[in-house]
Amino acid sequence: MNGARIETAAGPSHGDAGLSEERLFDLLGNERRRSCLQCLASVGGTTTVQELATDVATRVSDEETSPDDIRDSVYISLCQNHLPKLADAGVVGYDSTEKTVGPGPAFPVVERHLQVEATGDGDDEYTSYYALVSLATLLVLGATAYVVPAVQSYGVLSVLAIHALVVVVATARRLRSR
């Protein structure tokens, strides 16, 4: 990439690498831009816009549209819209003459948000965990009320307190691991 032609401008600083939350959501609000950034993250460096367009077309195509059918449209929208917008935010370095693109200074900030989106930050795992804990609590409460008289001596409040403790400990561990 020729340093004189790379279009990047981080703009005024509003937090991480000059990206305000509003600007970040605007940049990630478009499926082709998100796919473009995910492709760049997987490449790990500079690539050609042609290769990027092929990868993005593969990601955004659906059952009715093949990647080959939309590759040209993706290429044009990347060159005319998405890459200049990402370059203006400092997220990518885009050489419009050489048609190459790579991560910019603000790319790590956006990449963190892409990883959270892709993985859900473990939300599915914890949702399942909390659902199982809650189901176990309901079963114990049901046993308390109808089946096992020995459990009644511990009381409903004790069972609820144990449930709350498990949820609090699990949440604290999750927050600490971030």
**What's the pTM value of the predicted model, to 2 decimals?**
0.57
CATH of 6-105, one of 1.10.20, 1.10.10, 3.40.50, 1.10.287: 1.10.10
Q: What is the average pLDDT across 75-89? A: 95
Residue 155, sorted as left (phi over 0), alpha (psi -120 to 50) or beta, turns out to be: left
pLDDT computed for residue 147 by the predictor: 66
pLDDT beyond 50 at 2: no
Q: What is the average pLDDT across 68-75? A: 91
pLDDT beyond 70 at 1: no
Q: Which residues contact 140 (CB under 8 A, 6 or more apart)?
A: 151, 159
Single-letter amino acid code for the residue at 74: V
What is the per-residue burial (b if ≥16 Cβ within 10 Å, else e) of 18-42? bbeeebbeebbeeebbbbbbbbbbe
- For residue range 133-171, list pLDDT tens digits in order: 777 777 777 776 666 665 566 666 777 777 778 878 877
Q: Which residues contact 27 (CB under 8 A, 6 or more apart)?
A: 19, 33, 85, 86, 89, 91, 110
pLDDT computed for residue 15 by the predictor: 43
For the chain, the structural domain boundaries read 6-105, 121-177
